[in-house]
Homo-oligomer: A and B are copies of this chain.
């Protein structure tokens, strides 16, 4: 059996070393637009390029923990704030040559965060920023990070359909209109306010009422809105499907 042959005959220490890293696609919504957390690289390769926050997994550290640590380091977030962030494994990228220095296998994570204070605040160094996604196409990222971001975005769009994770972009209490704005921002098209409202309230466990309303109406008028918090569902049934996008990815 090949596995056994390898385990027996093969001493990994004798082979070219492999490094394992984590990279985080961290998304948030600021001023109605999706933003991506990027850090500026100081050293080659790709010096001065922007890249996803990430780094080596430590010798005794779980992958999830490494991703959480990287996110905390770059955002300056800790404790409770960090606990409000959704973090999930996205995919693993390990094509030979993706890092010119050595074989690097990178486990990518996807994070949804509420609107946070400016990044890099807590950390020791370096430039970090929340980049509006609209500005991304004009910026080349290090390594294969553009592909990772694209995969992350697609995953994010899909996740909003069948999970209540849209609430992770918002504070503890939010209005249905704010929740709708999250969907519109991530999916990139407007939704019918009335139908969205009906649907959100009809899915069991998506949101629960706090009984309270906003203090004031909206800045441009309109009544006060009722406030909700996230419910206890982890999956939405029935799902909130996004309007058909013409071609079904044939």
Q: Are B43 and A8 in contact (CB under 8 A)?
A: yes
Chain B contacts of A55 at CB under 8 A?
2-3, 6-7
B residues in contact with A107, CB < 8 Å = 92, 94, 105
Asked if residues B17 and A95 are in contact (CB atoms below 8 Å), the reply is no
B20–A18 CB distance below 8 A: yes
In the complex, A56 has a CB within 8 A of chain B: yes
Name, among A6, A16, A92, A123, the residue most crowded by chain B CB atoms within 10 Å (CB to CB): A92
Given A41-B4, A56-B10, A62-B95, answer yes or no on A233-B204 (Cβ-Cβ < 8 Å): no
- Top 8 closest A-B pairs, CB basis? A1-B126, A3-B55, A237-B248, A63-B94, A92-B92, A12-B19, A235-B249, A4-B42
A residues near B (Cβ < 8 Å) are 1-8, 10, 12-13, 15-20, 39-43, 51, 53-57, 59-63, 70, 73-74, 89, 91-96, 102-103, 105, 107, 123-128, 204-205, 232-239, 241, 244, 248-250
